[in-house]
Amino acid sequence: MVYLTRREHFNGAHKLYINSWSEEKNREVFGKCANKHYHGHNFDVYVTVKAVPHAETGFVINAHHLSKIMKREIVDRLDHKNFNLDVPEFKNKLGTSENVAIQIWRWMEPHLTDCKLHCVKLVETENIYVEYFGE
């Protein structure tokens, strides 16, 4: 079993703000991230899959093929988008890195047939990242 990881990139905007809360409570919990005019990040997303390498090609998965799936399922949905306004899945759920990572798992998993999805890692800044292993 070998694990292969591929990185893709997208830039998004979001705000962490719960409408049913007061402005004060939002500021207290989310700090500067509650700015009502949004802020954004350069997100790096790493998708890790695992399989026994194919006997002839030596591949866990063709990394170019994995890249195409990631671009279609992740980048096209999130790049240069406002998560709160442009992404249906985050209309009623906060687009925290935690929730975005779980959602990326759901988008990717159905399209990985010859190998198994192992991890989605989402890097928000050089100081913060999250990982989701599907359970």
* 103 touches its own copies by CB under 8 A: no
Residues 51-90 touching its own copies, rule: CB under 8 A, are 53, 56-60, 62-64, 67, 79-82, 85-86
Q: Are 94 and 85 in contact (CB under 8 A)?
A: no
The 35-54 site mask, x for binding its own copies (CB under 8 A), equals x-xxxxxx----------x-
* 109 touches its own copies by CB under 8 A: no
Distance CA 93, CA 87 (A): 10
Q: From residue 81, give the alpha-carbon distance in Å to each of 3, 103, 121.
A: 30, 15, 19
* 29 touches its own copies by CB under 8 A: yes
Question: Least separation, in Å, of the C-beta of 110 and its own copies?
Answer: 20
Structure-token pair, residue 49:
């899959």
